[in-house]
Structure 1
Amino acid sequence: MSKPKIQPVPIKIHPRLTSGRFNNLRVGMVLLTQLVFFGVPWLQWNGRQAVHFNLAEHHFLIFGISLWPQDFIYLAALLVVSALGLFLWTTLAGRLWCGYSCPQTVYTQIMIWIERLVQGDHLARRKLDAAPMSAGKFFKKGATQLLMGAFSLWTGLTFVGYFTPIRELATLQVGPWDLFWTLFYAGFTWLLAGVLREKVCLHMCPYARFQGAMFDDHTLIISYDERRGEPRGKQQAKSENAVKGCVDCGICVQVCPTGIDIRNGLQYECIGCAACIDACDQVMDKLKSPRGLIRYTSAQALQGKPAPAKSLHRPRIAVYSCLLAGIIVASTTALALKKPFKVDVLRDRASLVEQSDDGMLQNRYNLRLINTTEQAQRYSVTVEGLPSIRMERPEQVFDVKPAHTETVVVRVQANPEHASRGAHPIHFVIRSLNDDVTVKEKSSFIGE
């Protein structure tokens, strides 16, 4: 009995170029995601960068929404919404995120475009890899890496532009940390998308490993119709007046970016890009046979079972949807009702209690006024909590620029008769003179 032949695993996968509706969708998603990524840092909002994550000042600006460290609950909510959204989408439609929108998929596709531009189609690239080193091979390989490196640097510079004003970076006003993170991000873009490529999806991405736990019989996945396709072979192409099955052309394997054979069933390596569907549909068109030998479908439909009318009402769909809707509604409501300014009160511990010229006890405080709006604001400060408590300068008003923070020093005085030894609870009342919004912050007054 002869042993089955073991096909050699290629060191590098060169997927064959395909065309079709799903390929057009993938190209559109690459262009859309990169238009957003490269374009958003250049947008302006009220004279400032529209999206700016200013880590040095702990301040995020997102299209007029000003977020400070106290608002990081919204970032946590965004991460939870993203995770639940991914779980919900995976349960409904499999790994469409991986196939069309994942940064690894998008940048790998761009690197393949660069490679194809310089070195030719998949056959030419394989031939070039197998050829001995020559001046022509050195030039093509070098030009490919040069273009990939230039694109990676552009990507790294844009990424840093979300944290450092991108117009400063464009004029080469680059600090040492800006340069480090630009090179760091560019290097990993080149490594992951230009060198490792599909190996990231196969061996490094955890999502590929646990996706099966979110699939069920109604999940939309890419599948090969064995009932129609088997037995496969060239005789399928010669059959007359029949729906033709798999002719074993192997094009579905040639176009796969991870190098798998979808005819072997659902595999964790499949990223759901649908390149095999486009390739198979083109073959079926040539054979004048209906499309759909490889298609998006569910295990339920593939077995010939009718889909239940309430397939969307599965328990996990209901749980994901309810959690997702609840968090989105709660976060949106909280953001809409958010105060237009914040206040932090810190008592000056270097001098706990002093005595003024008129015999009053006096404490010093640092008030951190955070203006979260896009307009300049004026704030008045009063204090309450003890019968005789007052501000040293009762009529004092503080001006704060749009989306800025001002730290001011204030002195609070109280009669010794009402401020015995120890700490007494008090409240600062800060009122915005522009919006007539009031914020109360508690603190303590130290008596002698």
Structure 2
Amino acid sequence: MSERIPIKEIPAVKVHQPDASKHENAYTPRSRIYVRAVEGTLETFRRFFGLIFLGVFALIPWIQYNSNQAVLLDIDAQRFNIFGLTLWPQDLTLLAWILIISAFALFFVTTFAGRVWCGFMCPQTTWTFIYIWFEEQIEGARNKRIKLDQRKMDFDKFWRKSLKHFAWVTVALLTSLTFVGYFTPIDKLFIDFFTFNVGFWAGFSVIFFTVCTYGNAGWMREIMCTHICPYARFQSAMFDKDTFTVAYNPTRGEKRGPRSRKTSYEEIKQKGIGDCIDCNLCVQVCPTGIDIRNGLQYECINCGACVDACNGVMEKMNYPKGLISFTSEHELAGGKTKIVRPKLIGYALVLTVMISLLVVEMMTRIPLDVDVIRDRNALYRETNEGLIENVYTLKVLNKSQNQQTYQIEVVGLEGNKYIGLDKVTVAGGEVLNLPISIAIDPYALNETVTEFKFKVSSIDNIEESVQVSETSKFIYR
């Protein structure tokens, strides 16, 4: 064992520090991004799409259904009213199904078209672009905003900054009031808030979400996408070589560099120069401040702003469009994108099955729930007539939004004497606690514990009658 194991000496690894002079315009988390305005097909579609969802978000709480707020997620009352559907804590499985389906829908869309949710539908992106629009209208275009920030404070700068932040706070406040209006009656909320009569928790929620919206869309912006949102971190697990993402075509674009517009496209190709003129507009319009020419990056939210900017430059240069486009890795390598593939089919099948199960569960859902609670003070007692009596409390939950009348019957306990109301009326979305007693001759009981059922049936509409049976126990000795 005296022989030494031969060791190969490895030279010390030389660490190459980045050259700061070559990266003076590189993005860092602390730098300020001045987003340049862009026009184009994708930008028009994104604005149209965003306005639709913004309008839906703002209008839904104001819609009335049966003289009530159509969508009211009342946490205090522990019930969610969604038009004609009322969900209770007992219906948590429905909510779980909806959340799972939403997650798989997101996975399906991401596998097919990348992070289009982030670029076109995410509230963070939508509100950020709204705030940027106010910046452009009040402070001017990108270059004017840069110069304004570099300037010392004067009256012009003061009123522009003040007006901008006032607009931001106003948008944040309206957003917060609308959001809180999903959880408390919105018409009363607006009146109470502006008359200073709002309750503590409603007022606190409005102020809290106002600050969050103002901070996220006004100040944090891309930091939410690049450092806080977890979706940017695990999105790569859903990507494959056929996923459509915003990408730069280096084969066509390199070698990049400026050139005269008078030089024809044929002359450029003969000299071996790429289509990219290195104008950096793709960087200036990016809300996260990245250079798409460096390849796929987790900061990219697939908003397509760089696509419109590049297509505009290509059009002015009389070059073919599509140097930056929604494409796949296979297509960039010269192949064809496979739209139908096992991964996408798998997501689609799972999504279809889950949606079908949700529909079946909602169609078979019974708008009535009954719970039986035995008296905990005494298992049984003997009446003056010599009968054995058990005391119960029936909790009858009317899950519908209309008043219902119910008939209560005892099934499976022969010779019983029912003491209490056997017909009750319960308002829509309400719970009725009904104390009742059941007495029986002890000679009619063969066991110390006898199982039976409470049968509760609606009697208002025989054709659409619903009934629920709940098992309980009658105890003697």
TM range (shorter): over 0.9
SS in 2 for 1:235: coil
1:71 aligns with 2:91: yes
SS in 2 for 1:108: helix
1:413 alignment counterpart: 439
Alignment check: 8 A CA contact 1:348 1:364 kept: yes
Q: 1:225 aligns with which of 235, 246, 249?
A: 249
1:445 alignment counterpart: 474
What is the CA-CA distance between 1:136 and the residue it aligns to? Answer: 2.5
Alignment check: 8 A CA contact 1:236 1:245 kept: no
Which range is displaced more, 14-23 or 415-424? 415-424
SS in 2 for 1:305: coil
Q: Once the two structures are superposed, what CA deviation does each residue of 1:313-351 show, in whole Å capped at 9, x if it has no partner?
A: x22212211211111101111101111211122122134
Alignment check: 8 A CA contact 1:386 1:418 kept: no
Which aligned segments of 4 or more residues in structure 1 are displaced greater than 6 angstroms? Answer: none
Q: Once the two structures are superposed, what CA deviation does each residue of 1:12-37 show, in whole Å capped at 9, x if it has no partner?
A: 11110001111111111221121111
Q: Once the two structures are superposed, what CA deviation does each residue of 1:236-261 show, in whole Å capped at 9, x if it has no partner?
A: 74542437711111111110101111
Alignment check: 8 A CA contact 2:368 2:467 kept: no
Alignment check: 8 A CA contact 2:389 2:437 kept: yes
* Aligned sequence identity (%): 40
SS in 1 for 2:300: coil
2:166 alignment counterpart: 146
Alignment check: 8 A CA contact 2:247 2:327 kept: yes
Which range is displaced more, 112-121 or 162-171? 112-121
Alignment check: 8 A CA contact 1:53 1:61 kept: yes
Q: 2:381 aligns with which of 330, 354, 358?
A: 354
Q: Once the two structures are superposed, what CA deviation does each residue of 1:282-319 show, in whole Å capped at 9, x if it has no partner?
A: 111111222101100101111111334xx41x222122
Q: Once the two structures are superposed, what CA deviation does each residue of 1:174-232 show, in whole Å capped at 9, x if it has no partner?
A: 21110111111111111111110011111111111111111111000111111111111
Q: C-alpha distance in 1, partners of 2:309/2:465? A: 64
1:377 aligns with 2:404: yes
What is the CA-CA distance between 1:424 and the residue it aligns to? Answer: 2.9
How many corresponding residue pairs?
443
Q: C-alpha distance in 1, partners of 2:130/2:210? A: 14
1:266 aligns with 2:296: yes
One-letter amino acid of the structure 2 residue matched with residue 359 of structure 1: G
Alignment check: 8 A CA contact 1:160 1:178 kept: yes
1:345 aligns with 2:372: yes
In the TM superposition, 1:129-278 aligns within 5 A as 129-172=149-192, 173-235=197-259, 237-242=261-266, 245-278=275-308
One-letter amino acid of the structure 1 residue matched with residue 23 of structure 2: I
Q: C-alpha distance in 2, partners of 1:12/1:190? A: 17
Alignment check: 8 A CA contact 2:394 2:436 kept: yes
Q: C-alpha distance in 1, partners of 2:438/2:466? A: 22
1:294 aligns with 2:324: yes
2:24 alignment counterpart: 7
Which range is displaced more, 10-19 or 56-65? 10-19
What is the CA-CA distance between 1:7 and the residue it aligns to? Answer: 1.3
One-letter amino acid of the structure 2 residue matched with residue 341 of structure 1: L
Q: C-alpha distance in 1, partners of 2:473/2:77? A: 28
Q: C-alpha distance in 1, partners of 2:455/2:394? A: 11
What is the CA-CA distance between 1:384 and the residue it aligns to? Answer: 2.2
1:58 alignment counterpart: 78
One-letter amino acid of the structure 2 residue matched with residue 412 of structure 1: I
What is the CA-CA distance between 1:373 and the residue it aligns to? Answer: 2.1
What is the CA-CA distance between 1:234 and the residue it aligns to? Answer: 1.9
Alignment check: 8 A CA contact 2:265 2:319 kept: no
Q: C-alpha distance in 2, partners of 1:380/1:338? A: 20
Q: Once the two structures are superposed, what CA deviation does each residue of 1:12-71 show, in whole Å capped at 9, x if it has no partner?
A: 111100011111111112211211111100001111110011111111111111111111
1:116 aligns with 2:136: yes
1:285 alignment counterpart: 315
Alignment check: 8 A CA contact 2:265 2:318 kept: no
Q: C-alpha distance in 2, partners of 1:239/1:301? A: 29
Q: 2:41 aligns with which of 8, 18, 21?
A: 21
Which range is displaced more, 72-81 or 6-15? 6-15
The structure with more radius of gyration: 2
Alignment check: 8 A CA contact 1:236 1:247 kept: no
TM-score (norm 1): 0.94
2:356 alignment counterpart: 329
SS in 2 for 1:104: helix
Alignment check: 8 A CA contact 1:384 1:390 kept: no
Q: C-alpha distance in 2, partners of 1:427/1:88? A: 46
Q: C-alpha distance in 2, partners of 1:287/1:136? A: 38
What is the CA-CA distance between 1:103 and the residue it aligns to? Answer: 0.9
Instruction: Give unmatched runs, 5+ long, in structure 2.
Output: 1-17
Q: C-alpha distance in 2, partners of 1:399/1:190? A: 48
One-letter amino acid of the structure 2 residue matched with residue 128 of structure 1: L
Q: C-alpha distance in 2, partners of 1:86/1:115? A: 31
SS in 1 for 2:389: strand
What is the CA-CA distance between 1:107 and the residue it aligns to? Answer: 1.0
Q: C-alpha distance in 1, partners of 2:359/2:44? A: 35
Which range is displaced more, 91-100 or 32-41? 32-41
Cα RMSD, aligned residues only: 1.9
One-letter amino acid of the structure 1 residue matched with residue 426 of structure 2: V
What is the CA-CA distance between 1:422 and the residue it aligns to? Answer: 4.8
Alignment check: 8 A CA contact 1:52 1:61 kept: yes
Instruction: Give unmatched runs, 5+ long, in structure 1.
Output: none
What is the CA-CA distance between 1:357 and the residue it aligns to? Answer: 4.1
Q: 2:125 aligns with which of 102, 105, 117?
A: 105
SS in 2 for 1:219: coil
Change (3 A) 1:157 1:307: closer
What is the CA-CA distance between 1:117 and the residue it aligns to? Answer: 2.1
Q: C-alpha distance in 2, partners of 1:305/1:322? A: 27
Alignment check: 8 A CA contact 2:374 2:393 kept: yes
Q: C-alpha distance in 2, partners of 1:418/1:315? A: 66
